[in-house]
Each structure stands twice: as structure tokens, then as C-alpha cells.
Amino acid sequence: MDVDLLNPPKFSVGQELANFLATCEILLKAWKAICSISKNREDSFLLIKDEDVVYVIFPSFHNEDFIASDSKYGECNIKNQKIFSAGLKGNDDKPALVHKGALNRFLHILENSDFKAKMQDLKEQNIIFVGHSIGGAVAALATIWFLEKRLRNSNSFCITFGAPLFGNATIQEAIGREDWLGRFCHVVCKYDIVPRMYLAPYESIAKPLDAIVPHWRSKMGIDCVDVSHLSMSEACMTILNNVLKCTSTVANNYPGVRSPYVPIGTYMFCSTRGAACFEDSEAVLKLLHFSMQCQEGIPFDQIAGTCISEHTDYGCMLEGIDEALLNARQFANFVSNSSFEIGIALELEAIGVGAQDNHAFFALKKAGEAKNEQEMNTEKLNVKLSKNQSHMAELEWYKTRCKDSNTGYYDAFKQHDQKKDFHVNLARTNLGDFWDEIVEMEEKHVLPSDFRTRNKWINAGTTYRRLGEPLDIAYHCRTDKGNKSFLSDGVRPHRHIVLEKWMIEKEQTRTGRGKRGRTNFASLSEDSVFWARLEEACKASVRPQQEEFEAYVWTMITNKSISVEVFLEQSSFMKWWQQYSQIQLQSPQWRSSSPLFNFMANQSWN
């Protein structure tokens, strides 16, 4: 890390965000919409238009949805269903897991209703996907599905109430990369059991749920089943016990098997004392545990009851928040000069955990600092990037100057006998250093999660790679003693591999529009390792490999993705071509069948 100190974060805005959400009425409207869903619509979704917003409501409380029994935590790989894009993956190759019950429900709706058609009609509108309980998880999946369509001018948002965790870290990374995390808002009551529920293995909660779900259904006015009080309270105690065991494992980082699920999006914790929002996945995971802690003076069975009852009590809770906002808060024994720390303390007070809870406090503080560090790092890199543009300009000038002398800059740099070759090597090392640092930081997660999809960095990285990598290849060829190919393992600098991967991933998410073919030859060959391939072809003794290269060059020419500088008189490519065409001309049909021969003979690049 750098020697100089990072500025500590100045503020924590979790409470203000919650206040805003609570007062802007979306939440209440969404909740009311959920309450209006009737039994006969239970299998499908509901559209409600309110002013210029469309609420899409998903049903909840199917027994079979809650308990997906074929894996330990009810998870399944999202890839099994082809409805999500290939881009929904992590930064590594770990599988993307979601809750199977929620996924099945969403698939069911997708296939058995006019959901797709309705969504088609709704483009260019503000859409809020809403769901309660397991329906919330379905709404979140629907939101991801909708976001992946990348419709222009559409604005979608997801609000859930008491929704369980539904996806693993891979999903979280994928969404974070696209900067979509802010589009998910999960409202969670202090004691509501459901959001924590899936941290426990399904077999430990399945049985109690059998008893509890009918109770909820009747509470929500879907069914009218009478649940015996005794069996209910026993179920409540069991489930709370089992869940608490698992949450404390997670919150305290005890070793052991962990549930794959992580919080995805913004969590708004509500209590009778107020509300606050949190974004950091890790911190939310801990708060899910700490906020459910038993408080002194309240018997365990009472808390167990609250855990179940709060799940259906969001209406009251939301109305209560307005009131709580008006009350001044005080906290005892908390001293700090930092407005950031005071902010955290206030948040903890608001969600009923209390500022004195050190674990929760430090979890939030750490999260805030980590986020702040990410932003600060980005800022620093921005400054560095603009400084490094001067080096890029040096490279550009060098390229231009070399072109004037009829040698491409690749070959000039390979020969390395002029002062300017030395100078540009300094720029090359500087730039390499800079991008190495970025890639390293990204891999260490000290940059924002969506850093690698930001257009600015993708474009800067791609330009750098196309302009700079030929020099790296030339340097390698000049200094390499072992005759190792640039493309062999461990030779090509890691930064180029990563930058190329970033670019390809970004390309995949870009909508097809605007992708027109080139009309002119590129100023920089789009394939940055063109020269390395050339070097390999030059060394290759077998004809097929050379012919392969010919075909490769010809595709680049037809795409016009090759730079015309390749055809400069003194370039290595021309030398290869002379040798190669000499050999190939011995076979008479080649002349007529090779489009490249024609192209070269006519000098069609001019």
C-alpha cells in the first residue's frame, strides 16, 4: 500500500438514505400493493400502475418455494436455466448459485404467464419489482433478468420486504460489476426471521416452517387456517435457535460450513426506533445476526414470537418509522470526534442494535473505510491516468515518427539503436508499471466492484494494450535468450491478459447497436498480439502454421482491424511475406486461390 495515509471517511449516510426512503412513500405504496394481492392471483404476478411508476408484484408463501430440498441450503446453479446471460458470472469461475425455490417460481411465472409480453410493453417506463418474503427473492431475480436486457430509457428498481437471501457471492460480484447493486432495496425488520433463515441448512428449518408458513398465510389473509398456538411457539423457538447458531457462526467468522448466500443490494433495517440503510454485503451479514440478538429483559420465547410475527408486520413498521424519525436520539457513553463514527452510532441506534455494540460498530466502520478506500484509490488512479496520458502521447509520437521513416514502430523498437528507442522504453516501463498496479489493485479488491466495467478504464486499457503491447513484444523478442514465444505460458504480461479479458467481457454486455464494421483500416491493430503471432509464424517451419497465419491476417484485413503500418516497407511482416510468398508461389494454384496474395500484389491498403 502507499506510504501516504488515506483520508478517513467523513460521513456515513445510512440513516439519511433510510429517512429518504421512508418518507418518499414508495415503500408504503409497494407494501400496500403486496397486501392487495389475492389468493387467486397467487400463481402469477400483478401489475399496478401508480402515477408514472409501474409496480410489478410477485406472490409469496408457497410451501414448496420455501423449502428446496435437493441441496444443503436449497441452492442451485443459475446456469442450469438459460434465461440469464453468460455475463452473470463472477470474476473467477466459481458457479453462480441462487435459491432454487425462488428460481423455480420465477421460471414458472415466465413460462406460464404473459410476463414476458407485459414486460415488453413496459419498456421506457419506471418499473419497481416488488415482493414479500420468498416473493422478494423472485422479484430480485426478475429484476436481474430485466436489467440484463439492457433496455435503454428503462428504469427498474427492486423492493423486497422480509425477503430471504437468494444468491451467492458470484451473483453479487456480477451485479456489482455492472453497478446494479443500488437497484436492490431490501427492507428488513429487526427480528424478522426470514432474511436470516437460509443461513441455516434447510433440514434445520424445514420442519418448523411447515407449521409457521400457514400461520403467515393466514396473517396475510391468503388462507384461513387455524394454527395451534402451542405448536407455533415451539416451531418458533426451534427455528430461532437453529438460525441463531448459524448467524453467529457467520457473524463471528467461526470456522465451519457456511451458507453460500450473501446479501445483495442495499438493506434497510427497521426497528421501532427508526431505520438505516447499509450496502456492504459483509457488514449486512453481520447486522443480520446482531440485530436479532436477544436483549436484556426480554424473554427468549417472546423474541421467538416476534421473529415470526414481524415477518408480516411491515405495514405497521413503515408507519412507525415516520414517527421515530421525529424523535431525537440519544446515546449513552459514546464519545467520538469523527462525524463518520457518530453517523454509524446513530445508525446502530436507529436499527435498535445500539451504539454500544462493538462488533456491529466495527463491522460497519470497517465497511465504510473499505468503501472509502476504494473510492480514494480510484481518485488516485484517475490522477495517475491523466499523467500517464503524456506517456501515451510519447508513444503515439514515436509511432508517428517511425512511420515516417518507413519502419513501423514495432520494428524500430525491436532494433533499438536510436536514442528515441531508449526514451520510449522509459515510457513503456512507466505505463507497464501503472497498469500492473491497477490490475493488482483490482485483484486485491481495493477498487470499486464496478471498476473493471467502467468505460473510462476499459477504453484507456484497450488503447494502452493496442499501442503498448507491440512494444512489449518487441522488447521480449530483443532480449529473450531462450527463444520462448511471447504467447507461451507466463511470458505475456499478466496486465495484457487481464485487460483483454475486461474488454471482451464489456463487449459482451454492450448492446448490438452501434457496432458497425470498419470502413478504414484501424490505426492500431485490434489484436494487440499480432506481432507475436507474426514472430511465431516466422519461426514456424511447418507450412500449415504459416498458412494459418495467412488466414488470420486475411480475416484481419477483411475486418479492417489491422493497422496499415504493418505494410510499411521495412516491417517484419513484409519480410515474412516475401519469404512466404516465394515458397507458396511454387504451388501454382496458390496464386489464384489466395486473397492475400491479390491484396499484397495490388497494395490494396493504399
Partner 1 sequence: MKMVDLVTQSIVGSVANELLSLVRDAIKKSYNCKNYCKRLEKALEEIIPLLEEVITTGSEEISQLRQKQLGDLHKKLKDGTELVNNCSKVKRYNLYKSYKFANKILALEKYIINFHPKQGWLHTLCDMQHLSVSMKEGFEKIQVEIATRELQQPQLMIIDSMSQLQIDEEIRSHIPQIPELPKFPVGLQISIDELWKRLSPKDVSHVAVKGMGGSGKTTLAIALCTDPKIKDLYKDRIVFETVSQSPNLKVTIERLWDKIVRGHRPDFHNVEDAHMQFQQRLNQMKSRPTLVVLDDVWKKHHLEKLLFKAEGYKTVITTRDSLVEANCQYDLQLLRDADALSLFCFWTFGQHTVSETVDQNLVSQVIEECKGLPLALKVIGSSLCDKPPAVWRDAINRLSQAEPISDYHKDGLLSCLKTSIDILEREVHECFLDLGIFPEDRKNSVAALLDLWVYVHELDWEAAYRNLTELNSRNLLSLVNSPMDHFGNMCGSSFELFIQHDVLRDLALNLTRNEEPINMRRRLIMPRRENFVPRIWKRYADSPFNAEIVSLHTGMMNKEDWCHMNFPRTEALVLNFSASEYCLPPFLQTMHKLKVLVIVNYNSKRATLEGLSVLSSLSQLKSLRLERMIVPPLHNYCQSWEKLEKLSLSLCDGSEIMKWMQTSLCFNLPNLVELTIDHCSNLEELPACICNMTSLQKLSVTNCHDLYKLSDDLGKLSSLQMLRLYACPCLEELPYSICKLKHLKFLDISLCEYMQQLPDEFGQLSSLKVLDMRECSHVKKIPKSANGLKSLVRVICDEKIGRQWTAIKASSIPRLHVEVAEEHFHLDWLED
Sites of contact with partner 1 (CB under 8 A): 2-4, 387, 390, 393-394, 397-398, 401, 405, 415-420, 422-426, 429-430, 433, 478-479
d(Cα 321, Cα 323) in Å, to the nearest integer? 5
Query: Judged by CB, which is closer to partner 1: 178, or 394?
Result: 394
Query: Judged by CB, which is closer to partner 1: 79, or 387?
Result: 387
Least separation in angstroms between CB 2 and partner 1: 8
Identify whether the C-beta of residue 451 lies closer than 8 Å to the C-beta of residue 378: yes
d(Cα 554, Cα 570) in Å, to the nearest integer? 20
Least separation in angstroms between CB 502 and partner 1: 24
The Cα-based distances of 336 to 262, 340, 347, 369 in angstroms read 31, 9, 15, 16
Query: Judged by CB, which is closer to partner 1: 113, or 405?
Result: 405
d(Cα 534, Cα 546) in Å, to the nearest integer? 9
Query: Judged by CB, which is closer to partner 1: 359, or 420?
Result: 420
Least separation in angstroms between CB 397 and partner 1: 6
Least separation in angstroms between CB 363 and partner 1: 31
Q: Of how many residues is the chain composed? A: 606
Buried b (16+ CB within 10 A) or exposed e, 20-54: ebbeeebbbbbbebbeebeeeeeebbbebeeeebb
Query: Judged by CB, which is closer to partner 1: 31, or 398?
Result: 398
Least separation in angstroms between CB 423 and partner 1: 4
Least separation in angstroms between CB 466 and partner 1: 21
Which of these, 98, 86, 158, 155, lies nearest to 129 by C-alpha position? Answer: 158
Identify whether the C-beta of residue 122 lies closer than 8 Å to the C-beta of residue 157: no
Query: Judged by CB, which is closer to partner 1: 238, or 388?
Result: 388
d(Cα 565, Cα 398) in Å, to the nearest integer? 13
Please name the residue ranges forming H helices in 405-488.
409-415, 419-443, 455-479
DSSP symbol at 72: T
Least separation in angstroms between CB 422 and partner 1: 5
Least separation in angstroms between CB 574 and partner 1: 18
Query: Judged by CB, which is closer to partner 1: 357, or 472?
Result: 472
Least separation in angstroms between CB 10 and partner 1: 23
d(Cα 320, Cα 226) in Å, to the nearest integer? 29
Query: Judged by CB, which is closer to partner 1: 3, or 230?
Result: 3
Identify whether the C-beta of residue 505 lies closer than 8 Å to the C-beta of residue 87: yes
Least separation in angstroms between CB 479 and partner 1: 6
Query: Judged by CB, which is closer to partner 1: 172, or 407?
Result: 407
Residue 3 phi, psi (nearest 5): -70, -40
CA dihedral 282, 74, 450, 368 (to 10 degrees): -10
d(Cα 428, Cα 412) in Å, to the nearest integer? 14
**Sign (positive/negative) of CA torsion 27, 33, 38, 41?**
negative
Strand ranges, E, within 33-154: 46-50, 53-58, 75-77, 97-99, 126-132
Query: Judged by CB, which is closer to partner 1: 5, or 328?
Result: 5
**Sign (positive/negative) of CA torsion 422, 424, 430, 436?**
negative
